[in-house]
Amino acid sequence: MAEGGSGSDSSVGSVVCVENGVEGSGVGEHWRGCSMEEIHNGLNEFELEHVPAVRPSETHTVLYHCPIREPDSVPPRPLRAHHKWDATHVRLPCSSKSQYPVTAADGSSTIEARWEMIEKALLQPINNSKELQAAILSYNTKYENQWNFRALHKLLEDDLDESEARVFFEDLLPRIIRLALRLPELVQAPIPLLKQGQCHSVTLSQQQISCLLANAFLCTFPRRNTMKKRSEYSTFPDINFNRLFQSGGGAVIEKIKCICHYFRRVCPTERDSSNVPTGVVTFTRRSLAAGELPNWAEIQAPLGATPLHITSAGTIEDQGLGLLQVDFANKYLGGGVLGGGCVQEEIRFVICPELLISKLFTECLRPTEALLMVGAERFSDYNGYAGTFEWAGNHDDCIPRDSSRRRQTHIVAIDALHFMQSQHQYREDLIKRELNKAYVGFQHTLSTPAPGVASGNWGCGAFGGDPRLKALLQIMVCTVTQRPLVYFTFGDAKLRDEVHRMHTFLLEHNVCVKDLWNLLTSYQSQNMTPNELYNFIYGCISNTLKHSPKTKTMSPKCKNIRNLLTCWLKPQQANAREMPVSSSAARRSNLNQDIFASSESEVEADSVPSEDSIVAVDPSTSPSASKTIAANAQSIAATEQTKSSQLHDSVEMARNGKKLLAGKLESEQTELQMKKSNVSPSTEKPTGSRQRSLLEMLDQCYTTNAGPETKRICLNKTGNLKSTTPTKQQ
């Protein structure tokens, strides 16, 4: 059934998308939640505006004459200006400042203008792969013993048959060379580097990009080949193709095919330049200061307000038309695209090769930075993924252009954290880092409704993240930025249903961003395995709401809370209190203190691995079945426990450090008190400026309903239980 849809009724400020009465769960339906029509607000995919038109300004460098005066069939006229050979602009190979040492046969050494060396080498006849390698090395003599072009040789000499190889050397390569050598004519205005901390845009014509990419293919860019830590461009991605030409693996050959196909499409021939693309592409670096980021612990926006379409079919680039499409990036943009890599970002960069030029001028991204790329055209189709990736022929991109002549394809590069051990991802500061990263990518200043986001398992492949967590984080960010979310689970129907069910649950219980923040940042201290996150959330929300005073009367007294706590916490955690703790157990009990802490106990911030030191998780270290069974038992126990109110206190105390759904519980409790004292809710003053902890509210509830005092569980510094009797709550 086509993903159309009718009818959606909104309730409690949240959008409940219903498809003919059933949420897209018809037989054969791959999607749940809102229909794509609802995601697009009933408009066509390209009706909502993403970004303003291109206009040269202090923060927007345009490399052609703007506004464009040429007819649609003619590329925009390149801006004429003087080169800049400095640390804030791209050092172009055709600059007169680009010089290179040449050693003559007699051993004497001279300094030559490198562009002349490049022209001389490339204008020689080049009839095979070895001669191409020799030509490229002749102006990169420093690397003649390091670079080997085995992938290029394999493609041109083994994979292509004789006629195809002849076409490459007699037709395509000369076109690439001719285009590359037009650099002094096509790119005169200096290209600013998009450096860290900058908010700046660069817009180039597709023609200029193709000329720059032809130079990258021929490895002409100076100073971009050394990987020394201290070198000038060590914080920039690589741009010359030499690494691609020498990488191994079948996917590398297929990536080179995509790039050669791109050049076949855009390089003019001697007699015909009608194939030159005439559009433009904008690259915008976003960099937010700490003060511009949300305080996730205080946002009241209900998660249900975010329309969610989640599907196990399709891909971001094919089904995310008109939406803000997420590039699951590396902080060095493009990741392994000019090497052996071939997953989401690398694939996007080779089927839309204009994205590759971002590597020329974009410094690696900091935690609160993102890169928006608008207008890149798609030239290739593909099949497979990673090791099975293969070029699958031409792609005619029919996406309409905007008023600035950009294809209406908006891609935002955001790099997730790379986790060595999956449990790190539940640490509060790393959850915050991922929320802020996605926020930088999804935020906007639009006064019109913002287009939706097309995303998926961001950070959950090569970077080892938990898609169930990342899905919730992206829902939180879409809630704050008021963007619908289309989530592609990439074939995982189970994940689709779990996320959809959780989203529906959060919607039905009117859970807001800060509540979910509290839950997620409490989870880590439970030391549960990653696949229990949702059980934990269900358990907490059900417990808390089930026992809001309105619905349950508290039992008069918590009996033996310590035993009750023990069966709530994992046995080894409970025992940890009695035995001398090892360093890791100490850390664990510290984390538990985070949960049990009363106001006076300061939990030592765990030594958080720095961004760079976190490396990919090993998928084989998935939680053992026994731990999962134990964890599930624990969450069932938690649910059972809350059936008897004596235990309720233990569960809530387990979270005393976090205000879980405090607002909701507090308002219901207040309502209850008022009913008793015949005060209408609206006139109730908030009790005190500080939001009381859940425990305090429960204490008040106990003392109000049942009289006896409850024991407040606190852990002292060494993790031992100590009990204090709370002061009477008024």
Binding site for ligand APR (CB under 6 A): 315-317, 328-330, 335-336, 341, 343-346, 416, 456-463, 488, 490
Beta carbons within 10 angstroms of residue 365's beta carbon: 25
In contact, 89 and 190? CB cutoff 8 Å: yes
Tell me which of 238, 346, 363, 498 is the catalytic residue: 346
Q: What is the CA radius of gyration of the chain?
A: 30
In contact, 397 and 406? CB cutoff 8 Å: no
Which residue in the block uniquely carries the two structure tokens 């392994």?
336
Tokens of 239: 């741009």
Residue (222 or 341) nearer to ligand APR, CB = 341
Supply the minimum distance, in Å, between the C-beta of residue 344 and ligand APR: 3
Tell me which of 23, 37, 317, 345 is the catalytic residue: 345
> Residue-wise over 296-308: b if at least 16 C-beta within 10 A, else e?
beebebbbbbbbb
Residue (156 or 256) nearer to ligand APR, CB = 256
Residue (317 or 363) nearer to ligand APR, CB = 317
Which residue in the block uniquely carries the two structure tokens 């070895």?
130
Residue (168 or 349) nearer to ligand APR, CB = 349
CA distance 519 to 568: 16
Supply the minimum distance, in Å, between the C-beta of residue 421 and ligand APR: 15
Q: Which residue sits closest to ligand APR, CB atoms considered?
A: 335
CA distance 261 to 427: 45
**CA angle 519-521-525, nearest 5°?**
100
Is 611 one of the catalytic residues? no
Residue (181 or 308) nearer to ligand APR, CB = 308
Supply the minimum distance, in Å, between the C-beta of residue 423 and ligand APR: 17
Question: Among 532, 152, 205, 548, which Cα is nearest to 357's?
Answer: 205
For residue 691, give the 3-state DSSP assignment.
coil
How is residue 234 annotated by DSSP?
Answer: T
Residue (345 or 649) nearer to ligand APR, CB = 345
Supply the minimum distance, in Å, between the C-beta of residue 617 and ligand APR: 10
Supply the minimum distance, in Å, between the C-beta of residue 414 and ligand APR: 9
CA distance 89 to 358: 13
Question: Among 385, 358, 139, which Cα is nearest to 255's?
Answer: 385
In contact, 200 and 362? CB cutoff 8 Å: no
Is 327 one of the catalytic residues? yes
Any long-range contacts for 384-387 (C-beta under 8 Å, 24+ apart)?
385/342, 385/343, 385/347, 386/251, 386/342, 386/343, 387/249, 387/250, 387/251, 387/342
**CA angle 361-410-345, nearest 5°?**
65
| φ, ψ of residue 108 in degrees (nearest 5) | -75, 150
| φ, ψ of residue 147 in degrees (nearest 5) | -80, 135
Go through the chain and tell me how many residues it has.
730
Residue (409 or 457) nearer to ligand APR, CB = 457
Supply the minimum distance, in Å, between the C-beta of residue 411 and ligand APR: 11
Tokens of 636: 């069932």
**Which helix or strand (DSSP H or E) is residue 8 part of?**
strand 8-11
CA distance 124 to 77: 30
Residue (493 or 679) nearer to ligand APR, CB = 493
Tokens of 38: 């609802």
Supply the minimum distance, in Å, between the C-beta of residue 436 and ligand APR: 16
Burial tier of 227 (Cβ tally within 10 Å: 0-12, 13-18, 19+): exposed
Supply the minimum distance, in Å, between the C-beta of residue 467 and ligand APR: 7
State the greatest distance between any 2 C-alpha atoms of the chain, in Å, as a whole number: 104
Supply the minimum distance, in Å, between the C-beta of residue 213 and ligand APR: 18
CA atoms within 13 A on the CB side of 496: 23
Residue (619 or 707) nearer to ligand APR, CB = 619
Tokens of 461: 């492949």
Supply the minimum distance, in Å, between the C-beta of residue 416 and ligand APR: 5
Residue (5 or 456) nearer to ligand APR, CB = 456
| φ, ψ of residue 14 in degrees (nearest 5) | -120, 155
| φ, ψ of residue 412 in degrees (nearest 5) | -115, 125
Tell me which of 19, 23, 327, 369 is the catalytic residue: 327
Residue (310 or 694) nearer to ligand APR, CB = 310
Handedness of CA 297, 299, 302, 304 (dihedral sign): negative
Supply the minimum distance, in Å, between the C-beta of residue 664 and ligand APR: 34
Strand partners, 384: none
Is 346 one of the catalytic residues? yes
The set of catalytic residues is 327, 345-346
